[in-house]
Structure 1
Amino acid sequence: MQLKDTVAVVTGGGGGIGGALAERFVREGARVVVVDLDPAAAQVVVDRIEQTAPGSAIAHGADVADPDQIAATVARAEEAFGPVDVYAANAGVGGGHGLGDEGSWSLALDVNLRAHVRAAEVLVPRWLEAGRGYFVSTASAAGLLTQIGSAPYAVTKHAAVGFAEWLAVTYGDRGIRVSCLCPMGVETAILRAGEQSGDPLGAAATRAVTSAGDVLSPETVAEQVVAAMDDEQFLILPHPQVLDMYRQKGADYDRWVRGMRRYQASLLAQG
């Protein structure tokens, strides 16, 4: 899909990957609703966009895990710019450390998974009627390889990948395109949250990601997302080594699990 003359919604757009996506989408000719739980953060991104592309973006404060607020977000986009062509489900949370608790599981499931499902419930009927639409799911390499440190994060990111895959399989022949973004280290607040938590598993989680490959800028990731959308490519891997790791995992699952246990032990020993 070419982004020129499209309308896009970007959640978690107040910074990090979401902010970079919003700015890059506008550069490609889209009009964008920048959505964030913190409307002031979303407005900062819009103010930056307005310096070079006036009238191309608006800020909208919303909890995109809430079905009513998702519907209101889509309505706001339609009111401002017209029917939504692209929905970038980018908002995400870390989910705490270890097994987590009821609160961390509920939050991770709501933001990392159910927000995607609920957005699709609003948009898919519209897109089927129009014969086109694009859903961009921000998951994580943790959704393919697991995540040392946080069960809620690892499990919900696996689920996000699974849901994106289901959308692509189910509706791909009816005009709906899907891309699933699975990076490793990107310089965002979530990346550094573990090392600042004071929890050994949290610190290990950050070290696991930062030692496995380059830590990319959000702008670099956004550039790769746009290129993948141009090609209507499903799996977006800003860190290409993730594909090799994924293949190794599938080739010998038991060996993979043993290796991950050794890797975790080495990371914890560093702390």
Structure 2
Amino acid sequence: MQIKDKVVIITGGASGIGAALARRLVLEGAQVVIGDVDKKSGQDLVTELNQNNKIKAIFVFCDVTNFDNLRQLFDTAQNTFGGIDVVCNNAGILPIEFYDQTDNWVKTIDVNLNAVIKGTQLGIEFLKKRGGGVIINTASVAGFYPWKLFPVYCSTKYGVIGFTQSLRKLNNTDKIRVNAIAPGFVNTNMVKNVMSTVAEGVERLDYAPIDEVVNAFITIIQDDKLVGDSIIILKDIPSQIVSKSFL
């Protein structure tokens, strides 16, 4: 799929990977709909992207754990730009969870997995109206290699990988390609907030370059042969496409 003139939804798009992706997509000629709970960062990013008085991006407040918010995000994209071509289920959290004896792990599942499933359901509904499209789910290398410090986080990312692979046949029935990206740690505020806990993992894997993560999104959008695949991105290692389950 070419990117120019396409309409792209990005959840968790106000900062980090999502913001970097939004900037790249606008440069490539796409129109971007950014969903996030961070109103200030989202509105600031949209102001940056909409220079020269041309509307290239809009911001919609969206708590992805609130399915009414998700529906509003898709409806707004449809009403503003006339349709949706690409959905990036990118919102995610990396909390200190499980071992701290709180229920933070429940929110981890809601944001990292349940919202991806709901966002994909909505994506299928809206992409069908365009005759097909692309859905990209943000997983993690933690979806392939478990990390003892974050058992619930890893569970959600394993879930995203399995969910993505299970939707491979949508390309045959509805011309919708569902793929995933699986970066290592990326130097974002989310990771910095839990740096003291994840230091062991960062030291072992180092940071995945955010530009390479964005490149993986672009590759998935443009390469029509990628269906049910995941791209693993690590520092100083060529990106690897994992194309099939073990079964």
**TM-score, normalization: structure 1?**
0.80
Q: CA deviation at 1:84?
A: 1.1
- Aligned equivalent of 2:232: 237
Q: 1:132 to 1:242 in 2, by over 3 A?
A: closer
Is 1:219 aligned with 2:219?
Answer: no
- Aligned equivalent of 1:157: 157
Point out the structure with the larger strand share. 2
Is 1:170 aligned with 2:141?
Answer: no
How many residues of Structure 1 are paired with residues of Structure 2 in the alignment?
237
Offset from partner CA, 1:19-64 (integer Å, 9 cap, x none): 0111111111110111111111111211221236831001111101
- Matched residue of 1:106: which SS? helix
- For residues 122-271 of structure 1, the aligned pairs below 5 Å read 122-167=122-167, 169-173=168-172, 174-196=174-196, 202=197, 205-213=198-206, 215-232=207-224, 233=226, 234-239=229-234, 240=237
Q: CA deviation at 1:243?
A: 5.2
Q: CA deviation at 1:125?
A: 2.7
- For residues 74-113 of structure 1, the aligned pairs below 5 Å read 74-99=74-99, 101=101, 103-113=103-113
- Matched residue of 1:182: which SS? strand
Identical columns (%): 29
Distance of 2:135 and 2:88 partners within structure 1: 6
Q: Are the aligned partners of 2:181 and 2:216 in contact in 1 as well (CA < 8 Å)?
A: no
Q: Which runs of 5+ in 2 are unaligned?
A: none
Q: 1:28 to 1:11 in 2, by over 3 A?
A: same
Q: Are the aligned partners of 2:161 and 2:230 in contact in 1 as well (CA < 8 Å)?
A: no
Q: CA deviation at 1:192?
A: 2.1
Q: Are the aligned partners of 1:96 and 1:152 in contact in 2 as well (CA < 8 Å)?
A: no
Counterpart amino acid of residue 89 in structure 1 = N
Q: 1:231 to 1:75 in 2, by over 3 A?
A: same
Q: CA deviation at 1:151?
A: 1.4
With 225-234 and 142-151 compared, the bigger mean Cα shift is at 225-234
Distance of 1:108 and 1:177 partners within structure 2: 26
Q: Which runs of 5+ in 1 are unaligned?
A: 197-201, 251-271
Q: Are the aligned partners of 1:93 and 1:190 in contact in 2 as well (CA < 8 Å)?
A: yes
Report the RMSD for the aligned CA atoms in angstroms: 2.3
Counterpart amino acid of residue 82 in structure 1 = G
CA radius of gyration, larger in: 1
Point out the structure with the larger helix share. 1
